Amino acid sequence: MKLDATDLRYVTSDEFRVLSSVEQGSRNHEVIPTVLIAQISRITGGQVNKCLGALAKRGLVARVQNTKYDGYRLTYGGLDFLALKTYSKRSTVTSVGQQVGVGKEGDIYIVKGTGSNVYNDKGKGREEDGIDGEEADEEHDSEYDDSEDEEIGGSMRILKIHRLGRISFRNIKSKRDYLGKRKSASWMYMSRLAAMKEYAFMKALYHYGIPVPKPYDQARHTIVMSLVDGFPMRQLSVLEDPSILYSKLMDLIVRMAYVGLIHGDFNEFNVMIGEADEEPVVIDFPQMVSIRHENAESYFSRDVECIRRFFRRRFRFESEEFPTFQETMHDLKQMQEEAGNGENLVNEEGVHIDNLSPRQKRSLLARHGLIRIDELVEASGFGRQLQEELEAYMMDVAEEPGEGENDVSSEGESESEEEESDEEEEESDDDQVDEVATQAKNLKLGNDDQDDEDE
Ligand code: ADP
Ligand code: MG
């Protein structure tokens, strides 16, 4: 599905109000009765219908004729619009460029923007959560300074739109009850959960010095982050000494575990390689889990094995050395004991923690296992219950790839493409990772026949 930023200019304020009312109404109605829309928007009969007609023409809402009553529902286009509107207000997105990817469960666009909802010019977090709460000392931290961006009239960014509603919620509903009374808006709700989760983790990872894109903002089912000047690792074909990158990646897996996290989808698609410095940058976090997760060990080994396999196949490189979950947890414990409260730590260059910048300090604490991002995120906006809801959903969709059609989201989406069709796919052995990738692909394929472009 294509994102149409021109809507931003042409939607009138009444139409916007009506659209917001449709969104509000969709919290407890699958199809929102027209009378209810009129009530919420406080715009009277004839005018509401006119607005709804105009919005429907743009594909921002869709008319639904029900057996019980007629009404409207919000489309993905409508939700995209509302998110863009929010970004536009905050200047986190000032223009939308080309689409660079159709992901498994989301769309990726290049955008431009000047503002940030995380780090404003004074370096203080605008959002009130545990992680940004400690931003007071950022004023002198040049790495949070966006002045560079301003010079060129804004920075290039990535807008990632989560679209989890590409499968049937009907099947899920019959099996589980975790959606509760939010059933009616489940595609919106789940997509938003995924965006919230990804953003929460990206913020924390960035904050504690793990190389991830810089998070700028989050709205509804979308996030805005910095554009990594680089390419996905799978495009890498030659490496003079594969062992260097290999070690860096294993180190990243271990460093994430030291802050309590396992990526869960750590593969050649989700590692970007910097154009200039060839340093890896990790992306794509909606499936991240805590090291306390009951299946932590298997997720951890899967991530490690993914990288090992890629290096084996691509570079004919194999190493005896790789981290195991048990070892890593053992080392973590020991390191924590030695580090105490961290006041005597020194970094790799032998500089004492007291003489480091705030950012370096955080990074050093994180490297020594004194920061637990899984716990921080739980304590901030994205608690354990929400994570479990999202996880339950993700498990469900994995169990039923491509089955049935989604009754609440029929708006068009871009055609699914064969994501990968090179030698990797042919020789894929039947381990878990390939299975997950295939399932994800089936999800998309399973939805094809209901593709009706809404433009
Ligand atoms: P999905 O969940 O669809 O896999 P990803 O977050 O992995 O979504 O993004 C899909 C693709 O988009 C990536 O493989 C990468 O090519 C591109 N991409 C995503 N985020 C960025 C970014 N911050 N900078 C540059 N490219 C990105
Ligand atoms: Mg990805």
Residue labelled with tokens 């109404």: 25
* pLDDT tens per residue, range 185-206: 477 888 999 999 999 999 999 9
Q: Assess contact for 138 and 119: CB atoms under 8 A.
A: yes
160 Cβ below 6 A of ligand 1: yes
Q: Assess contact for 149 and 121: CB atoms under 8 A.
A: no
Query: Domains of the chain by range and CATH?
Result: 7-76 (1.10.10.10), 80-229+381-450 (3.30.200.20), 231-379 (1.10.510.10)
What is the pLDDT at residue 243? 98
- The residue among 206 and 29 whose pLDDT is bigger is 206
Mean pLDDT of 237-254: 97
Max mean pLDDT range (316-320, 426-430, 432-436): 316-320
Percentages (nearest 5) of helix, strand, coil residues in the chain: 50, 15, 40
269 CA to middle of ligand 2, Å?
6
Counting beta carbons within 10 angstroms of the beta carbon of residue 172, is it exposed (0 to 12), middle (13 to 18) or buried (19 or more)?
buried
Q: Where are the beta strands (DSSP E) in 163-315?
A: 215-219, 222-226, 230-232, 261-262, 271-274, 280-282, 289-290
- Give yes or no: 4 in active site: no
Mean pLDDT of 65-83: 91
Q: Assess contact for 300 and 289: CB atoms under 8 A.
A: no
| Two structure tokens written together for 237 | 């074909």
Counting beta carbons within 10 angstroms of the beta carbon of residue 330, is it exposed (0 to 12), middle (13 to 18) or buried (19 or more)?
exposed
* pLDDT tens per residue, range 107-160: 999 999 998 887 543 334 444 333 443 443 443 343 444 444 444 568 999 999
284 Cβ below 6 A of ligand 1: yes
Mean pLDDT of 388-408: 59
Residue nearest to atom 7 of ligand 1 (CA): 284
Ligand positioned closest to the Cα atom of 103: 1
Which one-letter amino acid corresponds to residue 203? K
Which one-letter amino acid corresponds to residue 63? R
- The residue among 119 and 207 whose pLDDT is bigger is 207
| Two structure tokens written together for 84 | 């863009």
Q: Select from 107, 108, 164, 279 the residue to mutate for testing ligand 1; criterion: most ligand atoms less than 8 Å from CB.
A: 108
* pLDDT tens per residue, range 304-331: 999 999 999 999 999 999 999 999 999 9
- How sure is the predictor about 4, in pLDDT bands with cuts at 50, 70 and 90? confident
pLDDT of residue 67 exceeding 80: no
Residue nearest to atom 15 of ligand 1 (CA): 232
Residue nearest to atom 1 of ligand 1 (CA): 103
Question: Which DSSP string do the residues of 101-132 spell out, in sequence order?
Answer: EE-SSEEEEEEEES--SSB-TTS-BSS-STTG
- Percent of the chain at pLDDT above 70? 74
Closest ligand 1 atom, residue 270 Cα: 7
What is the pLDDT at residue 391? 86
CA atoms within 13 A on the CB side of 182: 14
In this structure, of 39-48, 145-154, 274-283, 443-452, the range with the lowest mean pLDDT score is: 443-452
Closest ligand 1 atom, residue 213 Cα: 23
232 Cβ below 6 A of ligand 1: yes
pLDDT of residue 283 exceeding 70: yes
This prediction's pTM: 0.81
206 CA to middle of ligand 1, Å?
16
Closest ligand 1 atom, residue 284 Cα: 6
Q: Identify the active-site residue in 7, 80, 132, 265.
A: 265
* pLDDT tens per residue, range 379-395: 887 888 888 888 888 77
pLDDT of residue 248 exceeding 60: yes
Residue 115 and residue 92: Cα distance in Å, rounded?
Answer: 4
Closest ligand 1 atom, residue 283 Cα: 6
